[in-house]
Amino acid sequence: MKAKKVMVIHVKDDIEKEELMKELQKLELPAFIYVHGKLNSLKVNIQGTKDEIREAMQKVREIHQRVRSRLYPDRRGLYQYNIDDIFREAGTSVAVPILLKTLELLGEKAELRDNRLISSLPWSEIVELTKKLGDALSEIALQTTRQIREVVLPIAIAFELDPQEVLDLALELGVAEYKEDKFKYELIKNKEQALEIMLKKLTGEENED
């Protein structure tokens, strides 16, 4: 037997309302959902069996929680993001260690808990950053190994350099080499050493020793 339920979700502003509507439109559930935007709220009409309605209400609440945690910082000034949400919004994906290291080099807080990224960088900026990383990755993906990408891409984005320039610098500093037989750049130092050597060069610290 079909039933109906109406949920009213209160929102702080138009941005929250738009983000929430966008997420709800992507929902694929057995229940039928119709969303109507009001001044400071969204009215969600749900039709289906009792179980379908219960499942839909749970999903709607989870989505609202996700949207709020990525739009509004907690008391420490940090946002919480679902990693998949970031990649979906950016229309690209990169290895999570690359995103974390880039945030760190930019001086932003970055911590991973399960599939959640806790960061000081606001939503629109983290999406933009991920797009830049995706673009840079596409330039060098075929000629690099996963390990060297975890060094080159964060440096390229943090220092606003062309990824190929960073690869050339890695060769020059002796932290990587080009394998002719594989047509690929590979690290010959471990990631931490390579990063340290390259960062010292780029920040001028090597001259202070």
Helices vs strands, H then E, count in the chain: 8, 8
Of the ranges 65-69, 84-88, 189-193, 202-206, which one carries the lowest mean pLDDT score? 202-206
Q: What DSSP assignment string belongs to 30-46?
A: SSEEEEEE-SSEEEEEE
Residue 13 — left, alpha, or beta (φ > 0 → left; ψ -120 to 50 → alpha)?
beta
* Cα–Cα distance measured from residue 99 to residue 204, given in angstroms and rounded to the nearest whole number: 24
Task: For residue range 66-111, list pLDDT tens digits in order.
Answer: 999 999 999 999 999 999 999 999 999 999 999 999 999 999 999 9
Give the largest CA-CA distance in the chain.
Answer: 77
* Cα–Cα distance measured from residue 129 to residue 81, given in angstroms and rounded to the nearest whole number: 14
DSSP 95: -
Task: For residue range 27-62, list pLDDT tens digits in order.
Answer: 888 889 988 888 889 999 999 999 999 999 999 999
